[in-house]
Chain A
Amino acid sequence: MSVLVNKNSKIIVQGFTGTEGTFHAGQMIEYGSNVVGGVTPGKGGQTHLDRPVFNTVADAVTETGADVSIIFVPPAFAADAIMESVDAGIKTIIAITEGIPVQDMVKAKAYAEDFDCRLVGPNCPGVITPEEAKVGIMPGFVFKKGNIGIVSKSGTLTYEAADQIVKAGLGISTAIGIGGDPIIGTTTKDAIELFMNDPETKGIVMIGEIGGNLEANAARWYKENGNKPVVGFIAGQTAPKGRTMGHAGAIIGGADDTAEAKMRIMEECGITVVKSPADIGETMAKIMNGQG
């Protein structure tokens, strides 16, 4: 068991023949992910990376039985690509693209609500279940198999956390990068819920940042439903109010958006919060070894 993606996932790549799509699809195949084909409108019928190219997601689903899609389509067309995947019946849609206009995402998100599917991202590193499937742009070697689930808004900070977990003698069940945009599909709470229901996951690392209320919502849900230990970190304790810190969604608006407020709420809900990002791995190891 694991969550979202595994060795049986049939993965297609949207924006397959573009520079980004080609590079990362190649890396995914090398990792051992079951990439069954890709979509580039107008290039249907061709072969790319030894896999078939389709004009539409619907064709790809009919021909390959794909149930997971990863999107590398440029920002101007990415929301449309998400909706195409939703319409074609893809169950897990992972949007890597950074820089999608907010109003486009509002529409795509509303469109997806009427379908039985899950969107991860956009502006995220993707999802990895070590030794089974890498559906994203993360360096696969950092993620060794184990039973710690990771949910994070950030890319490199996810790798940092995974690296610490592994160096502390633990491993990762699945790592989910949910993305740093204001409007995203899978939320922190959704990811925590997935991990709570996954028998393979024994502990959870939750990495958030300033802006929005995803972490607070997840913490409150955890207080009512949680039964596995969670170690949390919030980036942006030193960020000034009103400035966007790289991620479009990382901006302190009201008093509840600050790192301090989020950390307080998380602690009140029973999450072990670390102040230093260097302490994530050790803290989780202590808890898992019964010393926490």
Chain B
Amino acid sequence: MNLHEYQGKELLKKYGVTVQEGVVVDDLSKLEEAYHQLKDSTGTDFAVIKAQIHAGGRGKGGGVKLAKNFSEVEEHANNILGMMLKTPQTPGGMDGEGKLVRKILLAEDVYAPDFDANEEIYVSILNDRERKRNVIIYSTEGGMDIETVAEETPEKVFKEFIDPELGLLPFQSRKIAFNLGLSGTAFKGMVKFLTSLYAAFTGTDSSMFEINPVLKTGDDRILAVDCKVSIDDNALFRHKDIAALRDEHEEDAMEVEARKYGLSYVKLDGNVGCMVNGAGLAMATMDMIKLYGGEPANFLDVGGTADAERVEQAFKIILNDPNVKAILINIFGGIVRCDRVANGVIQAAKNISIDVPVIVRLQGTNADIAKKLIDESGLKVQSAIMLQDAAELVQKALDGAEA
């Protein structure tokens, strides 16, 4: 689960991580109050307006602006709040529709007074799958896309692996701070920053922290100017407070709907909807749709119990996408018997009107009985037992739709 910048910063602060201070605003009528609250704590008229959406590169689309006084704050806030912000990471990229900005963060201008005296640093923490431990990735080249830095100047990207039983050790924090070329107050600040940041990472069961940039100010303070925080979904059961931060506006509405019914759904851009049991088989089914001339419209895993209710919900979710020209249901019935799945499909198909070809492939226990049930149901549903046959039926259905 991803958090907004302002939510991430609040979490970090709880663990003693120094952050760029700010006040979140979702309504322009509260702007003046927020501005004065911020001004009282920072002692300057300057403020930064930052759009709060789940996507990086917000500055590129005009979602981050510096204001020198309240009238500029008002002007930028007016423009940004409610805008469709396009960034390289929003759906469709800079040419796409963008994402609606529902909240802005009115933040401290931490770069003042001497912009050139600042240094931007990159720090992220994540789990390294191969080494099976957490790793801190850091670089002196903050404020830039780290993948570009890693490609062009790999010698400037460092990694520090953390022992899962011992945690981040003091010498490791010192090593990182030295490698970043820090000394004196800034060195001490960075050691404390890293210690707190790592405690926050493990304490919140996060799967990724990306602090880009971490700022070393002209007066040697170290603080997080931006933060991307992803929490391990599997661990949310023990972090009810964090689970409550989920912003469903930032997710695809159908994906949210699917989750309610225990379906795992990801919307794609193709023309063949699919409904499969098991994530691996679902991906394989999508691949086969492509090999046979279609494009998958979605990933959908109905899970272990493909009963009538779930199949019906899955149908509704798939049919909500107007691009869908055919639907392929691929269920490998193991413990679940195919004839029961077939009955579920028939019942679901009768409850909702389906005007695109449906191909059902049921394999496993009682596959023959299931095929017979489908064939004799009177529904305009085609059935197959072998995967290959199902793919060919999809191909035919698509050819028919084009003709």
Contact = CB atoms under 8 A, between A and B. Distances in A.
A106 B134 CA distance: 8
B22 interface: no
A239 B278 contact: no
Given A156-B278, A246-B301, A238 B287 contact: yes
Contacts of B289: 238
Nearest to A207: B280
B315 interface: no
B365 A139 contact: yes
A275 interface: yes
Given A156-B278, A157-B284, A99 B334 contact: no
A239 B234 contact: no
Interface in B245-303: 264, 266, 268, 270, 276-291, 295-296, 299, 301
Contact of A142 (B164, B268, B301, B334): B334
Interface stretch (A3-11, A37-45, A195-203, A208-216): A208-216
Contact of A248 (B234, B365, B387): B234
B207 A102 contact: yes
Nearest to A24: B335
A183 B129 contact: yes
Contacts of A259: 287
Nearest to A141: B365
B134 to A, nearest CB: 7
Interface string B148-176: 00000000000000011100000000000
Contacts of A225: none
B55 to A, nearest CB: 11
Nearest to B280: A154
A159 B332 contact: yes
Contacts of A111: 165
Interface stretch (A46-54, A57-65, A229-237, A284-292): A229-237
A240 B278 contact: no
Interface in B181-207: 202, 205, 207
Interface in B205-240: 205, 207, 232-235, 237-238
B377 interface: no
B129 A212 contact: yes
B133 interface: yes
Interface string A52-91: 0000000000000000000000011000000000000000
A110 B164 contact: yes
B380 interface: no
A243 B234 CA distance: 16
B391 A278 contact: yes
Contacts of B291: 275-276
A153 interface: yes
A74 B365 CA distance: 28
A156 B334 contact: yes
Contact of B235 (A101, A107, A138): A101
B364 interface: yes
Nearest to A108: B164
B69 interface: no
A142 B333 CA distance: 10
B287 A137 contact: no
Interface of B: 127, 129-130, 132-134, 147, 163-165, 202, 205, 207, 232-235, 237-238, 264, 266, 268, 270, 276-291, 295-296, 299, 301, 332-335, 363-365, 386-388, 391
18 contacts: A75-B237, A99-B234, A103-B202, A106-B134, A138-B334, A139-B335, A154-B284, A157-B278, A180-B279, A235-B283, A236-B287, A237-B287, A238-B286, A238-B296, A245-B299, A250-B283, A276-B288, A277-B387
**Pairs of residues from A and B, 7 with the lowest C-beta to C-beta distance, nearest first:** A154-B280, A246-B279, A156-B278, A139-B334, A101-B235, A157-B280, A235-B283
